[in-house]
Amino acid sequence: MELDRACQRKGVNAMAIENKNRTAEEDASINVAEESRETTWKSKSYMGSIFVGDFDIDIPHRRGCGFPEQDPADKATGDSILANIKKWADEYLDGEQIDRDESIPGHVWAGLKDLNLFAIKIPKQYGGLGMSQTNYMRILSLISRYCGSVAATLSAHQSIGVPQPIKLAGTQAQKDKWLPKFAEGWISAFALTEPNVGSDPANMATEAYLDGDEWVINGEKLWCTNGVVADVIVVMAKSGTRVTSSGKEINEISAFIVETDTPGVEIIHRCKFMGIRAVENGLLRFTNCRVPAENLIGGQGNGLKLALSTLNDGRLSIPAIAADNIQYVSEFSARWGKTREQWGRNIGAHEPGSEKIAQIQSAGYAMAAFSDYCAYLSDEGKQDMRMEAAAAKMFNTELLWDTMDTALQLRGGRGYETSESLRARGEFDIPIERMLRDSRINRIVEGTTDIMHLFLAREALDWHLSNAGALFGRASAWTKIKTVAKCAWIYSGWIPKLLVPSIFRRFRSFHSTLRPYLRSLDSRSRKLARTLFTQMILQGPKLEMKQLTLARLVDVGTEIAVCGLVLSRVDTEIKAGSYDNLLTARYWAKTRLAHIDQLFRAVWRNNDADAKILAAEQMLRAEHLPKVDTSHLKMIETDVGRDITNGKKRKGVS
């Protein structure tokens, strides 16, 4: 009960944990991040509970009601639209040509607009399709089977572009003005990253100052997907400073709606990439760009918090696409394993081939379980999902890359050969090499894997910091004495629970063959809580610097969560009369439990210190790279979305 109450508490409210090991720059960055966190948990978190030793599988299993599946009426709505999209894509969406030309042709832009795919989640009252998060993810997954570039374009436009922030925090006037434009073919983008600033917005250089009833923006933004063709962009900029509750002065960051035809906005370079080659991603420059004060979204200084809130739903399209890609490849891999013969039998019957097919199949099932659960959380809107959304993005994209590589290896030379070449010489083609190239970006965009590890580690520690945080911050002696007393009371009841053997948990609502795996997960959840707590005691504030240790523990918690979802879904299928995926689920549980144990061992036995010393030695010998210089870049000629989606011939961008 204590944990149940704790998981619905107010978290640590922008607490500055003092750490003398930080540099001034690190301290500033951490304070900005703390100020931007969501501090209130609106419900008990399935993932959050795992890190405190509470494997509450009843949350995703809905107290015995089973794994959540899409509402039949909502599914029927999605099925109808998906059928129309598939019919159009079969005729008009040529992923190979788009990849080769590095450009999305005009008829595709127009087709997307005619299907209203620039307004998938926008409410019908504003001209949108009004789709659920689940159907939105299904639509992008289908598009991605044809072309990763087009899927990325749609995702960047409405997962993190202008529509989502306005839906979350826009005024009614902003919604009335901007949301109808996307059904008309307007394209949006999101501008946060800069040439010298990536995941650390505390050092953002782009600035905005208020001049009368206008904000004036100056700076540059890099890797702005859709930025080359966008009609309107959400721009993040420093808008002043403020003092935190702990007395630290930090930069405040605000979000602005900027139309790209505003004087002072220049697209100065289109970026080219290894994969998703047709995305219109660019480097943008803002020079005394003046935007109306009414274009501020969510209030001054709330831009980063808005961005993080947007990403809870926004980043869910990536794990959905990843899961669908692997399920698509799994279907083909089984066919290939059955068809291709070597050394007197088909390659799927040889142990290396069998293992690869099993890995691909089970990975696709697990990734879909995680992605679908997150879609349910988003559509339901009742449960806290910040950890699940971040973990799904991290887990599915890492597994996508590994599994796609496995599929390519199973396919051999044909996996490395382009789909176009295979088809030209008479072979059944599947674009694995293009899918592999396209998949690599997903470990980077919308929060790199390393950043997701740090984000999840901070959230995993929130219960402990809400209890003991005052001991590490600036607090009076009396406050610290009270905190010690409170911790003694809380932890004296919590620690003994972690020592209770999991054999006593019955999991009666689950099929008997699944219960041993659930007990194993429960046992490892308790071990995770003990290990994390022990590391806190041993390392103190220095634990923040042990990022590889924290990453391993985050991975343990994520693996436990995914295994639980897999077992919940397969149990629900069994109760419905289908045993088709039982072997898949058991294989996944066995292999991942072994992986979890390897991660635990690596917490205590690793080469992290040696890696740090070796890296320092190498960097000491190395020279600094030249500073980034964009002064030679001039404005390039581009199109805007509302023109190309409505049939205007493209000018072409170099």
Measured in whole angstroms, the distance separating CA 377 from the mean position of its chain's CA atoms is: 15
Report angle CA 261, 266, 270 to the nearest 5 degrees: 115
Taking CB atoms within 8 Å and a gap of at least 24, the contacts of 532-535 are 532/51, 532/460, 532/461, 532/464, 533/464, 533/495, 535/603
Catalytic residue among 446, 459, 544, 573: 446
Burial of 95 (0-12, 13-18, 19+ CB in 10 A): buried
CA distance 136 to 451: 25
Task: Return the C-alpha torsion angle 334, 338, 341, 342, nearest 10.
Answer: 50
Structure tokens at 180: 């109808």
Reported residue count of the chain is 654
Taking CB atoms within 8 Å and a gap of at least 24, the contacts of 259-264 are 259/231, 259/232, 259/291, 260/227, 260/230, 260/231, 260/232, 260/233, 260/640, 261/231, 261/640, 262/289, 262/290, 262/291, 263/289, 263/290, 264/217, 264/288, 264/289, 264/290
Concatenate the DSSP letters of all residues of 167-220 into one string. Answer: HHH--HHHHHHHHHHHHTT--EEEE--BTTBSS-GGG---EEEEETTEEEEEEE
CA distance 174 to 185: 18
User: Which DSSP helix (H) or strand (E) runs through 141?
Assistant: helix 133-146
CA distance 464 to 490: 10
Judge whether 317 and 394 are in contact, CB under 8 Å.
no
In sequence order, the β-bridge partners of residue 221 are: 284
User: Which DSSP helix (H) or strand (E) runs through 291?
Assistant: strand 281-292
Which residue from 179, 138, 174 is spatially nearest to 155, judged by alpha carbons? Answer: 138
Which residue from 8, 50, 46, 45 is spatially nearest to 532, judged by alpha carbons? Answer: 50
Helix (H, G, I), strand (E, B) or coil at 281: strand
Map 562-573 to HEC letters: HHHHHHHHHHHH
CA distance 654 to 640: 15
CA distance 413 to 411: 7
CA distance 196 to 220: 10
252 is catalytic: no
Q: Which residue has the tokens 């508490």?
A: 9
Structure tokens at 240: 């002043």
Structure tokens at 321: 């696409």
Judge whether 286 and 217 are in contact, CB under 8 Å.
yes
Catalytic residue numbers? 446
